[in-house]
A = this chain, B = another copy of it.
């Protein structure tokens, strides 16, 4: 996309058959119809499948260099190494790439964009690539961006309750298979009984996830940190423009299908009030404040799944620190955590070319 368009732009969805791809097709059918042609690309073994988008069947074609000819924007949801190889090819063929892998997120020449927080960053993209943040970062960053704009963020301590679909279709299949094995049993009461029932069927997880929580996501980084924890720290700093923000994270997988939850202890530059925080959260775009424990109101994954916003509840000021807030946030990891934010970024690119 090198100038104003006289036609509706062509979109390529790369990785259309994955868990995020499926949600992307739903989202493209629901949002304002800014796209002309939509091409669905995937690995050769998925080529020929037909998927519904905007009410029509579209045939999936294999990912090739030529497939990007005439494409204005290409959304990628593929493994890191596939994105690293193919995103520059798409750019060379004239597309702006919006990539949901980790391949480019920390590249200083690639903006990392959350439209509610740093939309203007999308305009400066020396490599023709815009990166979409990790789903765990996206669960909290819209709400934190709004609070930061008012109060000035000084420190974060975060714990995650991550859904299995963060590990893709294999994660969901694994949980469902394990639940079939443990439901209608007395398991979960003696050491290793769940592990024995589940056997080798742990799928992408290092331990059983049914009737369990697993304090690990991603691969091992230095000093005992997981890649997922490092992503939350590094990406939050980049999106918020706070390269030295102290961020401590522990990522834990829980037996939830879709929607990540996070507890957040956020310390700010000065004193904060709960009323002030609630007012910001209640009016921030993309955020729903759902916080009335007396009425039984706080977000849970079972209610948030399938919705677009970040839901925030349990807003409290730390009892021993007037500069800190406690939050419980939920967000659909396949929608805002992945497909929706990618679609929003792609729409920013279209709007920019339209002169908006």
Known: A184-B180, A213-B161, A305-B190. A250 touches B320 (CB 8 A): no
Could you tell me the distance in whole angstroms from the C-beta of A181 to the nearest C-beta in chain B?
9
A233–B183 touching, CB < 8 Å: no
Q: Which of A180, A189, A193, A321 has the most CB of B within 10 A?
A: A189
> Which one, B220, B250, B257, contacts A293 given CB within 8 A?
B220
A326–B250 touching, CB < 8 Å: yes
Q: Which residues of A contact B (CB under 8 A)?
A: 155, 157, 159, 161, 176, 179-180, 182-184, 187-195, 206-208, 211-216, 220, 223-226, 233, 244-248, 250, 252, 254-258, 261, 263, 265, 274, 291, 293-294, 296, 298-307, 313-321, 324, 326, 328
A216 and B290 alpha carbons, distance in the complex (Å): 14
A306–B248 touching, CB < 8 Å: no
Known: A252-B263, A252-B328. A179 touches B182 (CB 8 A): yes
> Which one, B184, B191, B255, contacts A305 given CB within 8 A?
B191
A226 and B306 alpha carbons, distance in the complex (Å): 28
**Given contacts A183-B183, A215-B300, could you give 15 more A-B pairs where the C-beta distance is less than 8 Å?**
A188-B258, A189-B305, A191-B304, A192-B303, A207-B300, A211-B301, A213-B300, A220-B293, A224-B314, A224-B316, A246-B320, A246-B321, A248-B321, A250-B326, A250-B328
A214 and B263 alpha carbons, distance in the complex (Å): 12
Could you tell me the distance in whole angstroms from the C-beta of A150 to the nearest C-beta in chain B?
19
Q: Which residues of B contact A212 (CB under 8 A)?
A: 256, 300-302
A223–B317 touching, CB < 8 Å: yes
A215–B326 touching, CB < 8 Å: no
B189–A306 touching, CB < 8 Å: yes
A-B pairs with beta carbons under 8 Å apart, 21 shown: A155-B320, A159-B263, A161-B213, A176-B184, A179-B183, A179-B184, A183-B183, A187-B257, A191-B303, A211-B301, A212-B256, A212-B300, A213-B301, A215-B299, A216-B314, A224-B293, A224-B314, A225-B319, A246-B319, A248-B320, A254-B254
A248–B301 touching, CB < 8 Å: no
A315–B224 touching, CB < 8 Å: yes
Q: Which residues of B contact A321 (CB under 8 A)?
A: 246, 248
> Which one, B211, B214, B248, B293, contacts A255 given CB within 8 A?
B211
> Which one, B189, B214, B261, B265, contacts A300 given CB within 8 A?
B214
Q: Which residues of B contact A190 (CB under 8 A)?
A: 305-306
